[in-house]
Amino acid sequence: MLRNLPSVEQLLKTETTARLIAQFGRPLTLDALRNTLDEIRARFKLNLEAELPSIDLILTQTESTLSAWTASTLFPVINATGVILHTNLGRAPMSAATIRAMDVVSRGYSNLEFDLETGKRGSRLIHAEKLLQKLTGAEAALVVNNCASAVLLTLSALANKKRVAIARSQLVEIGGGFRVPDVMKQSGAKLVEIGTTNKVRLSDYETALEESAALVMRAHRSNFKIVGFTEEPEFKDIVESAHKAGVPVVDDLGSGALYDTAKYGFTHEPTVQESMHAGADVILFSGDKLVGGPQAGIIIGKKALLDKIKKHPLARAVRADKACLAGVSATLTHYLKDEAEREIPIVRMMSLTPEQLKGRAEAWQAELGQGTVAKGESTVGGGSLPDESTPTFLLELQVKSAEKFLRALRKNNPPIIARTENNKILLDPRTVLPEQEGALLVGLKNLLKT
């Protein structure tokens, strides 16, 4: 029976295969044809009485294989969870200007490392630096591919084989198993733990400085809180003590903030500007969390220290590409122009009032003809502002099985990510982008009909 299977050469002569070659290319189509025939042979050997598929069925299976092989695994989703910086959903959506800047610089050639004034080779390190200097008052700046690499690079450049003092309460682990002690070890720095888990005094820092610590580091606890019987000195006092000993201070702010989060009803998050004002010599923060731009690690501070960091061999391994630099620059420009609240999606989401959210939830209810509008809570997420929430209004949908409905939402095009409570589907307008609202309602209507 297997002798009756068409050969690859026979299948190549069909119009369907010609179409597949035009769509997927000849090498991949040949691979898929052979794969399909191998699967048919394997199935037939398990059941010798089975009928061989027709040529049309073979080609249909081949097309399905090709589609599966070339399907993108990364695509947009609608975030209706109310988690503003949802790590699993790509963190911060970017502003229109940021997306345009990244698109324009990616479409063709650019002056990434070309000096238009002299006509000679330039440096990619200058891009975004002037904006960061103007925005923060720093002497110098550097953009790398993420904040984890910013920490590793900074410690490697400034503290290799040197003692670095850090409070035990700051030996944190963030998502993906990134542990500060492990990174310090990898950089070659010698970890000097000071204080206890819950209590760190200024005298602990002073003792470490007397014992030849070459660097003091603060790692902001951006994804958890320590409460109760606790004590920690003011950062400006730590900096003052370190500077008296002639030792620089590195401040890893993690998610970072260029604005006061308390303005939007959250706990105050230490800002980059406050760290600068306190006298930190080097400050590290992310570009894709509270800043609201593309994934990036941003390093700012004293020029003498930044020069060492820029010249370190690891700097090339973790450098940012042209799209990242263009995106970071466009995002920072929003802050310089005092338009972040209007233009940067995550800042806009945080600034929405309960009344505005209630209006959107009620509009959804009216459009769907069902559901209940109820009070709820949105969160920042993304390893920022732990346990912090802000009031919102939710659209609650009563369904037969919440888990089955959530699964159906995830299979929608585009997928809709929601949450459930007491067998109800909860949809938070805070994190649904205005341009996705129509697709959200169409998807919900179709699923509610079934």
Hunting for tokens 């975030």 — which residue is that?
Answer: 79
Per-residue confidence band for 253, with pLDDT thresholds at 50, 70 and 90: very high
Per-residue confidence band for 350, with pLDDT thresholds at 50, 70 and 90: very high
Torsional sign, CA 237, 241, 246, 252: negative
Q: What is the mean pLDDT of residues 204-217?
A: 91
- pLDDT reported for residue 211: 87
Q: What is the pTM of this model?
A: 0.89
Q: What is the mean pLDDT of residues 357-364?
A: 97
Q: 430 CB contacts (<8 Å, ≥6 apart)? A: 82, 84, 349, 352, 357, 378, 392
- pLDDT reported for residue 229: 74
User: Beta 384-398 vs 372-381: how paired, if at all?
Assistant: antiparallel
- Tell which residue, 54, 56, 53, has the closest CA to residue 20: 56
* Coil, strand or helix at 364: helix
Q: Does 86 score more than 80 pLDDT? A: yes
- pLDDT reported for residue 265: 85
Q: In the chain, pLDDT over 90 holds for what percent of residues?
A: 77
Per-residue confidence band for 386, with pLDDT thresholds at 50, 70 and 90: low
- pLDDT reported for residue 383: 58
Distances (CA, A) of 96 to 69, 132, 334: 32, 20, 11
The torsion angle over the Cα atoms of residues 12, 18, 21 and 23, rounded to 10 degrees, is: -150
Domains of the chain, with CATH numbers? 2-70 (no CATH), 78-87+347-449 (3.90.1150.110), 138-321 (3.40.640.10)
- pLDDT reported for residue 187: 87
Q: What is the mean pLDDT of residues 58-72?
A: 96
Cis, bond preceding 414 (omega within 30 deg of 0): yes
pLDDT, tens only, 313-336: 999 999 999 999 999 999 999 999
Q: 225 CB contacts (<8 Å, ≥6 apart)? A: 386, 387
Range with the largest mean pLDDT of 176-190, 261-275, 411-425: 411-425
- pLDDT reported for residue 371: 95
pLDDT, tens only, 148-195: 899 999 999 999 999 999 998 877 776 656 677 788 888 888 888 888
**H or E stretch covering 392:** strand 384-398
Mean pLDDT score of the chain: 92
Angular region, 373: left φ>0, alpha ψ -120 to 50, beta rest: beta
Per-residue confidence band for 382, with pLDDT thresholds at 50, 70 and 90: low
Give the separation between CA 37 and CA 52, rounded to whole angstroms: 10
Q: Does 224 score more than 80 pLDDT? A: no
Long-range CB contact pairs, 346-351, < 8 A, 24+: 346/84, 346/85, 346/92, 346/93, 346/290, 346/292, 347/259, 347/292, 349/84, 349/378, 349/430, 349/431, 350/84, 350/261, 350/264, 350/266, 350/380, 350/390, 351/264
Instruction: Determine the length of the chain.
Output: 450
